Amino acid sequence: MRDKARKKKDMLCYGLIYTCAALAVALLAVILVYVFIKGAGSISIGFLTGVKSTLKGTTGIAGNIVNTIYIVVITLLFASPIGIGSAIYLNEYARPGRFVRLVEFTTQTLAGIPSILFGLFGMLFFGNVLKLGYSILTGCLTLMLMILPLIIGNTREALKAVPDSYRQGAAGMGATKWYMIRTILLPSAMPGIITGLILSVGRIVGESAALLFTAGSGYLLPKTAEGYISKIFESGGSLTIELYLSMAKADYEVAFGIALVLLVIVFFINLFTRMIIKKAAKITS
């Protein structure tokens, strides 16, 4: 009698657990299918390589694609040396104490600050105080702060995974610390570090709230070669910003076109990270 009730309870639990897991997968399926159906119609060569123009009556996101690439590359140029350096310090140089605890606490705090507050700070500090205004550079500096925790965390994990025997071996052969870091630790930790960088690309590509009031919403392509350099100091809206603005204007055709492009990018980023992690696991095992 009691056994039957227990079995019933068990089955109920199994049912609930399977339902929830199925729900998570179904959510993703709905999102992918819906965006694909609604967005596929907007995608064309003209959409991807043209620029929005009321005069010619064309829509296109080439300017936003270029802006997004600028933002990704420049942000990573700023953030990766600082993030990787900071992880090296924490893992290889630091002795436990107040400074390390403070760095750890602030890194965790940065990770928890919502992107809209990064946006506010970026606008106030980089935009107003440093007088960079609405520009790609302002956006990149803001995003740099936002992705630091991600890079620091992944690099630290990767360095921790390098066996101590490597360090002892290098030291035993007379290598200095910096030499050992350069030639042994960083190469061994490379897959983990790259995973962190790719994840950061994902965060940057998907970010919007921190960019709205920092990088602005410019959507034009530079007309001259110098224009591509001065672009850094001009306003430039990423794909996500253009998506948001089109959605606010109820221009859903463009919005879903951009959504599809973004989903494809996110999909490939996920694929890459999985591949690298798998490869790294194979090497270490």
Question: What residues between 222 and 261 interact with other proteins by CB under 8 A?
Answer: 240, 243-244, 247-248, 252, 255-256, 259
Q: 234: Cβ–Cβ under 8 A, 6 or more apart, which residues?
A: 135, 136, 218
The number of C-alpha atoms within 13 Å of 38 and in the hemisphere containing its C-beta is 16
Residue 125 interacting with other proteins (CB under 8 A): yes
Q: Binding to other proteins (CB under 8 A): which residues in 188-207?
A: 202, 205-207
Looking at beta carbons only, is 209 or 222 nearer to other proteins? 209
Question: Reduced to 3 states, what is the DSSP secondary structure of residue 59?
Answer: strand
Residue 178 interacting with other proteins (CB under 8 A): yes
Residue 275 interacting with other proteins (CB under 8 A): no
Residue 94 interacting with other proteins (CB under 8 A): yes
What is the end-to-end Cα distance of the chain in Å, rounded? 50
* Rounded distance between C-alpha atoms, residue 265 and residue 262, angstroms: 5
CB of 56 to other proteins, least distance (A): 26
Any idea how long the chain is?
285
CB neighbour burial string for 14-25, b if at least 16 within 10 angstroms, e if fewer: eeeeeeeeeeee
Question: Which residue of 177, 186, 194, 272 would you call a contact of other proteins, by CB under 8 A?
Answer: 177
- Options 24-32, 59-67, 188-196, 220-228: segment touching other proteins (CB under 8 A): 24-32
Instruction: Kindly report the backbone phi and psi dihedral angles of residue 60, in degrees, each rounded to the nearest multiple of 5, phi listed first.
Output: -170, 160
Residue 161 interacting with other proteins (CB under 8 A): no
- Options 51-59, 69-77, 82-90, 159-167: segment touching other proteins (CB under 8 A): 82-90
